[in-house]
Amino acid sequence: MSKQTQTRRKTVKDIAAAKGKTPIVCLTAYDAPMASLLDPHADLLLVGDSVGMVVHGLPSTVGVTMEMMILHGQAVMRGAEQALVVVDMPFGSYETNNDDAFLNAARIMKETGCQAVKIESGTYAAGQIAHLVERGVPVMGHIGLRPQAVNVDGGFRAKGRTNAERDRVIAEARASADAGAFAIVIEGVAEDLAAEITAEVSCPTIGIGASAACDGQVLVTHDMLGLFDWTPKFVRRYADLSKTISEAAAAYADDVRTRRFPGDAETYALRKPDPEQR
């Protein structure tokens, strides 16, 4: 079946309308094959800047570039047909001023074909969100634990566990929603705080290490599939693919070294001449 005859792709309006209804299913995707596998099950696929750590082996998301996000966004759009695709804006691409934020967001959308962008939205970013939305760029916010701020925070630390931090995270949520974000990712906050924010803001919240009370959930797909030895506390592993892949690679290596692969089934033979063509 061609893409033209597939179910209509979800829009930001569909996601916004899911507030308080059936929870929104969101997963990360960085390439076309994985996007194709996840697409039938997800409402939203996030091309997260986590790609820097998950795929490229960087120590944090700070080193991720626009070119990386565009490359992976293009790949995901080739594999996804019905899920809304959101691409992260990398560190340094939106913080300086509204015009830079718009030009970079517009470039991401034009070159990938994605439907929205995501920014880590401290209160400082409310102006950028409003500027983008007014100019036709749907924006998803991201509050609480903000990975791009890892160097300020001294690591990836849960937020909202003190009164001062609670006030700051609530202010981030209000500012993002008031500026026009169609949804907000809440990462690494106390459960009751996530529930409070979800009840207060008008747009859907999508939790990661937050609360089942959020309007949806997102996980890094590689974590969910068990591709790493260590995963954060908030991850539930639904598979152990690291073991499966390791065992498959070991079996392949053994077959190669003992010349059991390739065998007759994987080898081409010279075609016999067709007598009728002589």
Region at 113 (left for phi over 0; alpha for psi -120 to 50; beta for the rest): left
The count of other CB atoms within 10 Å of the CB of residue 135 is 12
Closest CA to 66 of 45, 49, 84: 49
To the question of whether residue 121 is assigned a binding role by annotation, the answer is no
Counting beta carbons within 10 angstroms of the beta carbon of residue 199, is it exposed (0 to 12), middle (13 to 18) or buried (19 or more)?
Answer: exposed
To the question of whether residue 88 is assigned a binding role by annotation, the answer is yes
Q: How is residue 272 written in tokens?
A: 């016999």
Distance CA 27, CA 52 (A): 16
Q: How is residue 219 written in tokens?
A: 């996980």
User: 236-264: buried (b, 16+ CB within 10 Å) or exposed (e) per residue?
Assistant: eeeeebeeeeeeeeeeeeeeeeeeeeeee
- Is 187 a known active-site residue? yes
Tell me which residue has tokens 């849960």: 158
Distance CA 254, CA 70 (A): 39
To the question of whether residue 50 is assigned a binding role by annotation, the answer is yes
To the question of whether residue 159 is assigned a binding role by annotation, the answer is no
Q: Would you give the end-to-end CA distance of the chain in angstroms? A: 42
To the question of whether residue 13 is assigned a binding role by annotation, the answer is no
Residue of 67, 187, 196, 247 marked catalytic: 187
Biggest alpha carbon distance in the chain? 89
Distance CA 54, CA 29 (A): 11
Q: Which residues are catalytic?
A: 187
Binding-site residues for 3-methyl-2-oxobutanoate sit at: 49-50, 88, 118
**Known binding-site positions for Mg(2+):** 49, 88, 120
Which residues sit in the known binding site?
A: 49-50, 88, 118, 120
